[in-house]
Amino acid sequence: MPTIVVEVMPKAEILDPQGKAVGNALARLGKNDLTNVRIGKRFEVHVDGPVDDAKLAEVREIAVDVFSNAVIEDVVSVTVDDAEDGVAK
């Protein structure tokens, strides 16, 4: 069963207090080379049947309308996860 992975991130101009807190924690741990942490959301949608361009477009539309708040978030990717190890391609 194919899985479509949707990633949503806060818009660049929106403050990300959760990302800021993680970034500050990394700095306290001495990880000063890891900066500008942003935290988003990942959705996994299982599909009965094949995934084609039309299905990806349909899920992208759903992502914009349902999974994200268009005022403060962007849908940054809609991909098919067909790898055995769970990594989106």
The model carries a pTM of: 0.83
CA distance 7 to 30: 29
CB 34 within 8 A of CB 26: yes
Residues 46-70: pLDDT tens digits? Answer: 999 999 999 999 999 999 999 999 9
Q: Which helix (H) or strand (E) holds 61?
A: helix 53-62
Q: Is the pLDDT of residue 43 over 60?
A: yes
Cβ 16 vs Cβ 78: under 8 Å: no
Mean pLDDT of the chain: 92
